[in-house]
Structure 1
Amino acid sequence: MTSVYDFSANSLAGQPVALRDFAGKVLLVVNTASKCGFTPQYQGLEALYQQYRDRGLAVLGFPCNQFGAQEPGTAEEIGAFCQKNYGVSFPMFEKIDVNGATAHPLYRWLKSSAKGVLGSEAIKWNFTKFLIDRHGQVVERFAPTTKPEDLKAKVEALL
């Protein structure tokens, strides 16, 4: 696989989505969870999306239950939580694994394209972020502690 556009994933509604549908956009791909200390970042992610979507930014949320079982809900529960509590309007996908033998192929590629701290590939926690340019290439990986609002300059540089 050579770009993010080589992958597909199911939407939160269970429909297949080819990531090539986002070709030409800057992407921020995030593994999310509803019961995490970083969950309030949904607000910042939505604000970033609202501010830049007309210029070509898409935020893609991938719920994951691999860290402290902090995303236990069904797709319906996840969608309702995100909408009710944070007004999330950016695309959300079905719950996936980001580490291990059952990791989604997209995340296998993301992790190999942008290593984490000390060269580690493993995702360490919820709300790890990958910034992808308009050509479908990973530009940078950000730790869960990096707030969405701190990514504005990097997003703007790619738009």
Structure 2
Amino acid sequence: MRIWLSSACLLRVIPPILTGALADLRPSARTSRGGTASEAFERVQFAHARARNVSRIARAHGVRPADLAIEAPAAVDLQLPDRRLLVALAGARSALDAGTERSVQAHARVLAAIYQTWFTRTRTAPRGAEAIASGHRTRLALNDAVAVALATELTALGLDAPEHL
């Protein structure tokens, strides 16, 4: 059986994340762990720092994230990396809802890995004299939602979500 999700359907996961819906789902705060736990999540922390940096660079180029609650997301042509990242991002709520550290750890690692692949294949800012398109704005909103999800998951695990690395 195959299930097809439209771009509009997939993009519906972003506005609740950006408006703070994940903040209510954080497990109770835990104490920070020693160096080994932090080292185990360096790739997740790096992905978060990279997402924040991508946001800063895109905004410096004049790109503002799309307000997907208002704009018509069906006009955006989502590529395969975008779709994979959206599907992974949609799992953030269920990983935090599960309330187990193991589910949050697993989702954070998967989301970080998929984000790194997405980062190498997409652009959130125009190149040169290229005009800012809806794809840039939509991908910036997606990038920002990933940053929020990774920060929430790292915080739930008692780890820092760095702005820079």
TM-score (norm 1): 0.29
Bigger relative contact order (CA 8 A; separation at least 6): 2
Q: TM-score, normalised by structure 2?
A: 0.28
- Richer in strand (by share): 1
Q: Which has the larger radius of gyration?
A: 2
Task: Identify, as 1 or 2, the structure richer in helix.
Answer: 2
